[in-house]
Structure 1
């Protein structure tokens, strides 16, 4: 069984656009600031409470972002990210590239820092089906912990396995630590802290089949 596993948000779904536009709904004109502040708080919330459902992580990180940026947040508005998440846009090349992977004989899976109910809504928007999904709710932890990867390996025993993701911190580092082949989708043009961790890098999913099949 040949598998390509993916992170979802940031890799297949435009997570930054989703948070930015959702924050603008509750604080018009403040979406960009709140997105960057949110990024500074999410991992801390996940580390403090690894069993916390992702919808509550979203709400708490948003509360902390608003407090940091001195943006007033009504109690009822803290759930805006979980409410809008199922509608966050899929990157335009995703459908064709995932279809090409399936045509080349690869099985597809998601390893996502998300709840089962939220990813179920997102899967309806992804243009290609996935054979397997491992959520933070299933794993009992959030990446960069290894629980998603360990659970997937135990469950599916892949003969060949490539992990594809946008986040250096959440995905490339643990995949490297576990010896999993990996492709970094560097959508933001970042420079990695340790370039030796990156085996292959693409600016988006275009050309992913060749990258996955390259040894």
Structure 2
């Protein structure tokens, strides 16, 4: 008996659930900062500072203060602020250099269990990201890392950022499925709670080092999600894949 009866599609939060954003951003930030005379700066702190601007930037879209704007654009705007905070003037850096660093979000590595687990899950389920990332970002990430999506659905498809209900409901509609035929797989309780409110099934996957060794959030399931696990491979076991 599968742990998610009736579910035809698994959709995945991506940043933190499928890929390790913190290490990937720090890797490229280290190169960039050294190239621009700030080799003394902490690249992990740089990654955290950049990510800290993520939710406030999307909130401007969610609240209607600005029209829908893809994440690549928001990341690029946020990068200017982070560079300024680190003593660098974005206006004095070549556009190609800034674009290279902004594309660090396209070059993130999957967690070790992600690809093996996804390959198994794909045998019985349709797989797609349900991410705030944009289509090009997610497609480039998948191409580089070998992430075996059946389709790449970026936030442009839903024209909404999680946790807005439209992000979940429009994704199900695009797939031609009822919300209850779709399960969100995520390492974030808030994301799962919003998906559940929209009628999706839920699977929590523990990622205790997404925010580093001293992480204090999402260290356990906050609700009785349909599945609670610590890896994609165990999720595949639970779903009979």
Q: Shorter-normalised TM-score: what interval?
A: 0.7 to 0.9
Alignment gaps of 5+ in structure 2: 1-6, 34-38, 63-67, 210-215
Give how far 1:42 is off. 0.9
The structure 1 segments of at least 4 consecutive aligned residues displaced by more than 4 Å after TM superposition are 189-194
TM-score, normalised on structure 2? 0.75
2-structure distance, mates of 1:93, 1:5: 17
How many residue pairs were aligned? 210
Note the 1:1-215 alignment, pairs <5 A: 2-27=8-33, 28=39, 29-49=41-61, 51-67=68-84, 69-75=85-91, 76=95, 77-103=97-123, 105-155=124-174, 156-158=176-178, 160-169=181-190, 171-188=191-208, 190-192=216-218, 195-196=222-223, 198-212=225-239
TM-score (norm 1): 0.83
The 1:131/1:195 distance shift into structure 2, 3 A limit, reads same
The structure that has the greater radius of gyration is 2
CA shift, 1:6, in A, is: 0.8
Q: What SS class does the counterpart of residue 144 from structure 2 fall into?
A: coil
Alignment CA distance shift 1:198-1:31 (3 Å) = farther
* 8 Å Cα contact 2:189-2:221 kept in structure 1: no
Distance in structure 1 (CA, Å) of the matches to 2:173 and 2:140: 26
For the residues of structure 1 that align with 2:30 and 2:76, how far apart are their CA atoms?
15
- Give the Cα separation in 2 of the matches to 1:55 and 1:139: 16
User: Do the aligned residues in 2 keep the contact of 1:176 with 1:197 (CA within 8 Å)?
Assistant: no
Gaps of 5+ in 1: none
C-alpha deviation, 1:191, in angstroms: 4.4
Q: Structure 1 pair 58/212, CA: closer, same or farther in 2 (3 Å)? A: farther
- 70 and 139 in structure 1: CA distance in 2 versus 1, 3 angstrom threshold: same
> For the Cα contact (< 8 Å) 1:135–1:148, is it kept in 2?
no
